[in-house]
């Protein structure tokens, strides 16, 4: 018996804390939640690319790499990117001189995987 009374008392106390909300209150609250969510989504969307990406989103951190630009260790992050390899005209000629080995290794068409590194210290980006 005592247990039930206790529960009842708790329930009453809770009810007193949170007065019954009217339908209008509820609508206002739901609208507020909706616009808050929309604002959050817009913020997330706007926070992405558009110029310099945030350092934390730029690939994986590689503390052992030394930046060739500013010689700083520990500020470099890398990500894998795919490059289109061209076999036409000047591009193919350039590839023969500069990237001939990798071109032969991966074939004459398609995508070549490369690693893009970014230094958060001097903001430079390079590939290797
Ligand atoms: Zn650097």
For residue 125, how far is its CA from the centre of ligand 1 (angstroms)? 8
The answer to whether the beta carbons of residues 55 and 120 sit under 8 Å apart is yes
pTM passes above 0.85: no
Residue 36, CB half-sphere, CA atoms under 13 Å: how many?
A: 6
For residue 99, how far is its CA from the centre of ligand 1 (angstroms)? 25
What digits encode the pLDDT tens for the residues 79-98? 999 888 765 555 555 555 55
CA angle 81/87/93 to nearest 5° reads 105
For residue 118, how far is its CA from the centre of ligand 1 (angstroms)? 8
For residue 100, how far is its CA from the centre of ligand 1 (angstroms)? 29
- The full set of domain ranges for the chain reads 2-47, 56-127
Other beta carbons within 10 Å of 58: 19
How far apart (Å, rounded) are the C-alpha atoms in residues 63 and 56? 13
What digits encode the pLDDT tens for the residues 11-33? 887 777 766 778 888 899 899 99
């Amino acid at each position: 018996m005592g247990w039930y009374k206790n529960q009842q008392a708790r329930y009453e106390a809770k009810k007193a804390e949170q007065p019954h909300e009217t339908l209008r209150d509820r609508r206002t609250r739901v609208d507020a939640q909706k616009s808050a969510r929309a604002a959050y989504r817009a913020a997330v969307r706007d926070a992405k690319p558009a110029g310099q990406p945030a350092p934390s989103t730029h690939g994986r951190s590689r503390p052992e790499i030394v930046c060739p630009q500013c010689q700083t260790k520990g500020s470099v992050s890398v990500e894998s990117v795919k490059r289109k390899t061209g076999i036409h005209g000047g591009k193919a000629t350039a590839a023969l001189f500069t990237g001939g080995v990798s071109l032969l290794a991966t074939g004459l068409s398609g995508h070549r995987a490369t690693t893009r590194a970014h230094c958060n210290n001097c903001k430079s980006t390079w590939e290797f």
